[in-house]
Structure 1
Amino acid sequence: MRLPSKALIAILFATAALPAAAQDTAAVPQSATAAALECGDDFATWKQNLANEARTAGVGEKGLSALANATLDQKVLDRDRAQGVFSQTFTQFSERMISDYRLKHGAANLQKYGTYFAKGEQDYGVPGPVVAAFWALETDFGAVQGNFNSLNALVTLAHDCRRPDLFRPQIVPLMTLIDRNVLPADVKGAWAGEIGQTQILPSDYLARGVDGDGDGIVDLRNSPADVILTTARKIESRGWKRGEPWVQEIRVPAEMDWALTGRTNKLPLADWAKMGITNRDGSALQDNGLKAGVVLPMGRKGPAFLTYENYDVYLEWNQSATYTLTAAHLAARLAGQPAFDRGNPDAGLTGDAMKALQQKLHDKGYDVGGIDGILGTNTREAIRQEQMRLKLPVDGWPTDELLADL
């Protein structure tokens, strides 16, 4: 398979970080409400208020000087409003992103940096393939880290009133890293402010950076050791459970109570086995004492997976179900599992048809997260509710039949 274009990878940089930004608001002494109230104000006044906040937080003159030179970047706003890559189906997206290049280089890096991956698992409980998968998807192992001025990007997105609460909490941590000479004032990264080979947000860089190679510097742009251990520590901080699985491919029966499926409805494997669910090869599920949900990214006739609690941690990295399932499956591939079975899913809705479905759902009172043609979590749940009402199989997959019935 061909390596995705740099433009596509750049789009992924930012989407991979947004949920993490929301996790670290405590890093800055201000509330999301305050950020929202100030967004869109006179830029000079807004920056002065931010400088006062940073000075109170202990940022010195070097960090304050960097803020004084920060400017708004229209290209950042343009990129923020153009994330159409996630309108692809899971099969389209994952088969493009899980390339031969990434599988080959992922395996090579797991061997080359085996000592650091082993330490990451020893210290934080996160298996090497999980870290390596994010490393691959975010920057192709450091090859494409982004060329946006990171401080300008964060200032632009925090001043913009679309989602200021996601980005404002990252500015003072970045200023602190600049002030401490960890990063240069003109550090470059992704358009949403992430930095380094696994696209770490400044708050994580500051709070969870690990000097893996022992040179006295946490360098997430150039040191694989630092990248691997910091990424493992970040994943562990989001709730990763040592020694537990994250995803498992399965085979579902032709008929079952589809309303029981979904990531959040976790049941013991023995319960799923009683419904006719088996391992991918048709062998019986073995109860491992854990609970898992059944995820059907393309409906009941497409690929099927058990997702455990560790899979939920992926959603702390990125809230796109398509991205997270791709990242989880890539980690499974790097751990030795085969490519997923595509199945024979019903034709889904795309483009204008998908937008038409979202509009109908919106008109019925559902929050679908925007009429954007993307099958996100909100849209999928609204589909499930309507499938239940219409007595259709409740698998969250948009079809012509559903659109016609609505």
Structure 2
Amino acid sequence: MPAGSSAQEASPVIDGQAPPAAIDGQAAAFTAFLDGLRPRAMAAGISRRTLDAILPTLTFNPRVVSLDRAQPGGNPAAGASPGIAPFAPYRVRHVDADRIGRGRTRYRDLRPQLAAIERRTGVPEAIMLAIYGHETGYGTYTGDFDLLRSFASLAYDGRRRELFTAEFIATLQLIERGFPRSQMKGSWAGATGYPQFLPSMYLRLGVDGDGDGKADIWRSEPDALASIGNYLTNAGWRPNVPWGVPVRVPADLDRASIRARLVSPRCPRVFDRHSRWLTIAEWRRLGVQPVGTPVPAETEMASLIEPDGPNATAYLLTTNYRAILDYNCSNFYALSVGLLADAVSE
């Protein structure tokens, strides 16, 4: 694609039928864009042979661009986001009897490997398993989009060009390491394997969990779980500290006095729902009472979230909850991971 031209100029039609001339022009521009990535790829250690074998096979995928633009913030012309939905319906769908039951079965099957990973990382067995369950249904679905085609298309589109270009090259590096291209499948946005890592995350934090000398998050559950544990450790997980605990909040709690005064530079809308930090003992003195287990130590710092509003179950969240948010910056996701882990380990 010529320097200075926009992705929208190069791809006039995303959904719908484009004229043949437009399709031909887009194909030529896409090919030129890929050729422009060759120097950067080769500087990252990708061989000319690999590039010659792969780049000519790639075509633009309008489907992934359409899905990307449908995400929150993906379309600048879209109206304001609707109000925040309650957590309860999400919890019913994601911490359901089927997922709990299958999780308990996998917990029993994988207990020796999980216990060994917990000893090394300090991350509870059930937390690793709950993430595995949420991400891919305990390995039953991992996505079937061609990673290289997806990343190339998303980089070409240009909305987050640097991110997707880096992931495109990271995927090529995986192929250089000996992983077959046929295995490089995942979600439309490029999450891959049992833990749904981006390729760059695999390169940084993927670890061998079964002792065969290779970290294979696509076919080895021990490798996938060990990599999840390594991710959470890297995100700051502290051993022997619960992620949080369900609590009952008194009707007369002065919420203005506990509002957080800082704005998070990352996922501000997610963190805006959290109160300021107080110790568990201080929360008790305000009348906030745990209604679940395990309860963090009285000196442990925690923030409060009321995901279903007043007069419903709330949660006190420790710093380990923030490690789960690092995996997926969504309060609903992190809460459901914690609750599923608690249910699976009962």
What TM-score range do you get, normalising by the shorter chain? 0.7 to 0.9
- Tell me by how many angstroms 1:320 deviates: 2.1
Q: Is the CA contact (8 Å cut-off) linking 1:72 and 1:156 kept in structure 2?
A: yes
3-state SS of 1:305 partner? strand
The equivalent residue for 1:334 is 344
Aligned residues: 298
Q: Trace 1:171-182 onto structure 2 (pairs within 5 A).
A: 171-182=168-179
Q: Which of 225, 230, 238 in structure 2 is aligned with 1:228? A: 225
Q: Determine what percentage of the aligned residue pairs are the same residue.
A: 31
Deviation per residue, 1:295-315 (Å, 9 max, x gap): 011212222000110111122
Kindly indicate whether residue 36 of structure 2 is the aligned counterpart of residue 54 of structure 1: no
Q: Which of 63, 76, 81 in structure 1 is aligned with 2:64? A: 76
Deviation per residue, 1:311-363 (Å, 9 max, x gap): 11122111222222222222222233xxxxxxxxxxxxxxxxxxxxxxxxxxx
- Tell me by how many angstroms 1:191 deviates: 0.7
Kindly indicate whether residue 286 of structure 2 is the aligned counterpart of residue 271 of structure 1: no
Could you list the runs of 5+ residues in structure 1 that have no partner in the other structure? 1-35, 337-406
Q: What letter is aligned with 2:38?
A: A
2-side partners of 1:63 and 1:294: how far apart?
A: 51
The equivalent residue for 2:92 is 95
Kindly indicate whether residue 311 of structure 2 is the aligned counterpart of residue 301 of structure 1: yes
Q: 1:47 to 1:277 in 2, by over 3 A?
A: same
Q: Trace 1:76-155 onto structure 2 (pairs within 5 A).
A: 76-82=64-70, 89-155=86-152
2-side partners of 1:316 and 1:169: how far apart?
A: 20
2-side partners of 1:163 and 1:37: how far apart?
A: 16
Q: What letter is aligned with 1:318?
A: N
Q: 1:157 to 1:39 in 2, by over 3 A?
A: farther
Q: 1:82 to 1:331 in 2, by over 3 A?
A: farther
Q: Which of 314, 320, 340 in structure 1 is aligned with 2:324? A: 314
* Structure 1 length-normalised TM: 0.68
Q: Is the CA contact (8 Å cut-off) linking 1:106 and 1:136 kept in structure 2?
A: yes
Q: Trace 1:392-403 onto structure 2 (pairs within 5 A).
A: none
1-side partners of 2:63 and 2:296: how far apart?
A: 51
- Tell me by how many angstroms 1:145 deviates: 0.9
1-side partners of 2:164 and 2:93: how far apart?
A: 29
Q: Is the CA contact (8 Å cut-off) linking 2:143 and 2:186 kept in structure 1?
A: yes
3-state SS of 1:265 partner? coil
Could you list the runs of 5+ residues in structure 2 that have no partner in the other structure? 11-28, 73-81, 260-272
3-state SS of 1:292 partner? strand
Q: What letter is aligned with 1:164?
A: R
Q: Is the CA contact (8 Å cut-off) linking 2:101 and 2:344 kept in structure 1?
A: no
The equivalent residue for 2:299 is 289
Deviates more, 1:74-83 or 1:243-252: 74-83
Q: Is the CA contact (8 Å cut-off) linking 1:150 and 1:186 kept in structure 2?
A: no
- Tell me by how many angstroms 1:79 deviates: 2.2
Q: What letter is aligned with 1:239?
A: G
Q: Is the CA contact (8 Å cut-off) linking 1:89 and 1:322 kept in structure 2?
A: no
The equivalent residue for 1:365 is none
The equivalent residue for 2:24 is none
Q: Could you say what the CA RMSD is over the residues aligned between the two structures, in angstroms? A: 2.5
Q: 1:75 to 1:313 in 2, by over 3 A?
A: same
Q: Which runs of 4+ in 1 moved over 6 A?
A: 36-39
Q: What letter is aligned with 1:52?
A: P
Deviation per residue, 1:245-265 (Å, 9 max, x gap): 112111100111112154251
Q: Is the CA contact (8 Å cut-off) linking 1:240 and 1:313 kept in structure 2?
A: yes
- Tell me by how many angstroms 1:38 deviates: 8.4
3-state SS of 2:310 partner? coil
The equivalent residue for 1:280 is 291
- Tell me by how many angstroms 1:119 deviates: 1.7
Q: Is the CA contact (8 Å cut-off) linking 2:248 and 2:312 kept in structure 1?
A: no
The equivalent residue for 2:213 is 216
Kindly indicate whether residue 249 of structure 2 is the aligned counterpart of residue 239 of structure 1: no
